[in-house]
Structure 1
Amino acid sequence: MKTPMDEHDKLITVGKIVNSQGIKGEVRVWPLTDFSERFKDNSTVLLDINGELRPLTVEHSWKHKNFLVVKFREIIDMNSAKSVKEGLLKVSRDSLRELPRDTFYIFEILGMEVVTSEGFPLGRVKDVIQTGSNDVYVIAGQEKEYLIPAIREIVKNIDRENRLITVEPIEGLLDL
């Protein structure tokens, strides 16, 4: 029996505040999204600290190394910025961009059951490693973990509705 999703389950994490930046209330955000324009001026996100949500409005932001530096209107000084360190920045699922066909958000892949094309169950996706060239699915099996490259030659089907991934591993892949 399905239980209704609570508000937190309907939210997607798009960034993590990793530190304060300067004395004006700016924060360093580690982006957990491919769409960093989500942090454009006047956009809003929800700050999740210890399960409590509060809306924040982006005053301005810019890219700095691998981070984004973001100034939120509601965070007015360095002390306020330090108090939100480790906070997660979230958005609602309905604000997500529509992806091209056969493209998935990582949160959609996590937890999916993985079977071979012959029906042999491998386990569930516990992590997705982004390598730059292709993602690698970390599958938690009953006896071991499998690393499955997310390439068309191996991943034959991803069924969102049934939360099932069908793979056709090349020889030796499951022995690693």
Structure 2
Amino acid sequence: MEIECLNVGKIVNTHGVRGEVRVVSKTDFPEERYKKGSVLYIFKQGQSEPLKVTVASHRQHKQFDLLTFEEINSLNEAELLKESILKVEKEHLGSLDEGEFYFHQIIGCEVYDEEDKLVGKIKEILTPGANDVWVVGRKGKKDALIPYIPSVVKKIDISSKTVHIEVMEGLIDE
């Protein structure tokens, strides 16, 4: 059975001795994605079949999400999950409010300035605090960091994979 999944995080280590894993999250909504009872898939390197797991607990610790799964009951079992990718079935994505987007919808969009000149393509989204920051890859230049705030991001068109921004002074170094 082929299921379409989206990356929500990477298991980077274990935490404690009871099978808890430390996750670097790549999801827009960790509180929703990792809530108790959520079904996730663990893709281990070198294995073609993912391991289906159910979240037993979730808490945040420093910059990590700490998870336990109903199917993983010991430190030894959790150790085997290091470097695995956590995914969710695409059909389990919730609906969003107007003006909200999933990371996978934004990554890959082309960014244009107010004069309709191509700035670059969004290759990553950082979530450092108050607002997201979009990392825009540019040909022959270093990446631009675009804050996702109304005064900068003016229009997002998911169907055409384009974003229009207003370039504030110092936002994009040439």
TM range (shorter): 0.7 to 0.9
2:113 — aligned with what?
Answer: 116
Task: Name the amino acid aligned to 1:27.
Answer: V
Question: Which one of 65, 81, 84 corresponds to residue 84 of structure 1?
Answer: 81
Match in the other structure for 2:37: 42
- Give the structure 2 partner of residue 27 of structure 1: 21
Q: What's the CA shift for 1:59?
A: 3.2
Aligned to 1:155: 153
CA shift, 1:65, in A, is 4.3
Mean CA deviation greater in 45-54 or 65-74 = 65-74
Q: What are the residue-to-residue correspondences of 1:42-81 with 2, within 5 Å?
A: 42-50=37-45, 52=48, 53-81=50-78
TM-aligned CA deviation for residue 64 of structure 1? 4.0
Moved more, 134-143 or 17-26: 17-26
**2:163 is the alignment partner of 1:165:** yes
In structure 1, the partner of 2:10 is: 16
Identity %: 37
| Structure 1 residues not aligned, in runs of 5+ | 1-5
Alignment CA distance shift 1:116-1:11 (3 Å) = same
Coordinate RMSD, CA, aligned: 2.3
Q: Secondary structure at 1:134's aligned position in 2?
A: coil
**Distance of 2:170 and 2:68 partners within structure 1:** 50
SS of residue in 1 equivalent to 2:104: helix
1:93 aligns with 2:90: yes
Q: CA-to-partner distance for each residue in 1:64-93, whole Å, 9 max, x for gaps? A: 444343332322322211011121211012
Deviates more, 1:30-39 or 1:127-136: 30-39
SS class of match (2:124): strand
The 1:175–1:85 alpha-carbon spacing in structure 2 relative to 1, beyond 3 Å, is closer
- Note the C-alpha offset of 1:142: 1.4
Shift of 1:109: 1.1
Alpha-carbon distance between aligned partners in 2 of 1:174 and 1:23, rounded to the nearest angstrom: 46
What is the TM-score with the length of structure 1 in the denominator? 0.81
Which shows bigger deviation, 108-117 or 14-23? Answer: 14-23
After superposition, what is the alpha-carbon deviation per residue over 1:85-142, rounded to whole angstroms, capped at 9, x for unaligned?
Answer: 1212110122112222112222211111111122211110122222322222221111
| Deviates most, 98-107 or 19-28 | 19-28
